Chains A and B, each alone.
Chain A
């Protein structure tokens, strides 16, 4: 019962914060409601008994990505006010509504093969064994490390002031 209440609270917070991100005029307030949305998603991970992922969500999204986004808003300050919509508003609404309807229909009509076992908790040891152990994901981990290195170097090179 408590789990259901937590799910409904988190779901309402997530959807309200996401709508605020899309519809608020002030870019800075939109970034703040994006942070609220990230924290509520971490709560959803907790109700799914994914404790390690909830911690990573707080660290990476709430800690790092929001700081980067707010920094970018600060540095583009004289364009901060207003986030006007373009002419695609009606077609985008139609596309989003049709996609949402299709997704909900597919999700509710599919016979999911729900497993009777309880989910694994705590997940940290098991995730480490999955990522680094035998028959695991060690090659994707290495590729992800290379991708992060390339992204850091690319961000530095692109954002650097050109000396004249």
Chain B
């Protein structure tokens, strides 16, 4: 059986949902960031699959995937800096205990 666009899209959906489940359930802030990276990778697989199956000569999806990677790099740098700052102040990165801003 040949591999089609649907296979890649189902793979990206599975990866996105695993990342979503992890981001919703884990309590360690670093693990939550890692799960968000998983979700971004799932979206990138979908973008590249659309690009090479639907507009193979235009590469628009690959350009979008590059921008997603740029935003992911910026997000992980700032997110880890925030986690380090919180850890320095509270000695804890459990998101259940970081509730200073919770009303």
Nearest CB of A to B32, in Å: 9
Residues of A within 8 A of B78 (CB): 151, 154-155, 158
Closest to A23 in B: B22
- A residues 127-149 with Cβ under 8 Å of B? 127, 130-131, 137, 140, 144, 147-148
Q: Which of A7, A68, A117, A131 contacts B63 (CB 8 A)?
A: A131
Residues of B within 8 A of A71 (CB): 80
- B residues 1-45 with Cβ under 8 Å of A? 1-11, 13-22, 24-28, 30-31, 33-35, 37-38, 41, 44-45
Q: Is the CB of B18 within 8 A of A22?
A: yes
Expressed in whole angstroms, the Cα–Cα distance for A60 and B3 within the complex equals 27
Count class of interface residues, chain A? 35 or more
Given contacts A4-B3, A158-B85, is CB(A100)–CB(B17) below 8 Å? yes
- B residues 72-86 with Cβ under 8 Å of A? 72-78, 80-85
Q: Which of B6, B49, B57 contacts A120 (CB 8 A)?
A: B57
- A residues 71-111 with Cβ under 8 Å of B? 71-73, 75-76, 78-79, 82-86, 88-89, 91-93, 95-97, 99-100, 103-104, 107-108
- Extra contacts, 16 of them, besides A15-B15, A18-B18, A91-B24 (Cβ < 8 A), are A11-B7, A14-B15, A22-B35, A38-B41, A50-B51, A60-B73, A65-B76, A69-B33, A69-B34, A86-B25, A103-B10, A107-B9, A131-B66, A148-B70, A151-B75, A152-B77
Residues of A within 8 A of B (CB): 3-4, 7, 11, 14-15, 18-19, 21-22, 27, 30-31, 34, 37-38, 41, 44-45, 47-50, 52-53, 56-57, 60-61, 64-65, 68-69, 71-73, 75-76, 78-79, 82-86, 88-89, 91-93, 95-97, 99-100, 103-104, 107-108, 112-115, 117-120, 123, 126-127, 130-131, 137, 140, 144, 147-148, 150-152, 154-156, 158-159, 161
The 7 A-B pairs of least Cβ separation, nearest first, read: A151-B74, A22-B22, A92-B24, A103-B13, A159-B81, A155-B81, A119-B56
